[in-house]
Amino acid sequence: MDKRLSLLMFSGDYDKAMAGLILANTARDMGMEVTMFFAFWGLSLIRDPDKMTLEDKTAYEKMLDLFTPKGPEALPMSRMNFSGLGKWMLEEMMEEQDAPRLIHFLKGARKKQVKFYACKLSVDIMGFKQEEFLPETEIVEAKVYLEDALTSDIQLFI
């Protein structure tokens, strides 16, 4: 199958990240090529919590770092978060259904070689560094994503 899926991940919400990663994994299972382009809050999904640093960051960048989720497991729910209670309830319900957690879908996408692109402008504005991201992440300009999306069969914005 020579089909391609292009996902633009703008949201930093747990449930929206789940939706994007479920689609990415399913598309790869169907033999599709998949690209995920992460911008602004979506970058939280591909930051490695073990490699985050405050070194060489401005005061604003340090403050932003304090208030952004520390990796995929720390993402909040988009609705009904209730200070984390809503996310906990969802994870409990998923466990009861033997459904994989977000981190498992992320690991699956990495293993299946989904392309991870980080928006260069978003990375620069937010003060993130290449080494803070998962190793598969390539920092690219929006033009690279748009050229990829133009040749994709399906484009989705999450």
Buried b (16+ CB within 10 A) or exposed e, 127-142: bbeeebbbeebebbee
The pLDDT assigned to 76 comes to: 86
Q: What is the pTM of this model?
A: 0.90
pLDDT (tens digit, 9 = 90+) per residue, 103-113? Answer: 999 999 999 99
Q: Where are the beta strands (DSSP E) in the chain?
A: 4-9, 33-38, 115-119, 137-140, 154-157
Enumerate residue ranges in the chain where pLDDT < 70.
1
pLDDT (tens digit, 9 = 90+) per residue, 25-51? Answer: 999 999 999 999 999 999 999 999 888
CA distance 79 to 50: 27
The pLDDT assigned to 85 comes to: 85
Which 8-state DSSP code applies to residue 71?
S
Structural domains in the chain, CATH included, are 4-157 (3.40.1260.10)
CA distance 117 to 114: 10
The pLDDT assigned to 120 comes to: 98
DSSP code per residue over 27-43: HHHTT-EEEEEE-GGGG
Select from 42, 70, 47 the least CA-distant residue to 134.
47
CA distance 93 to 15: 13
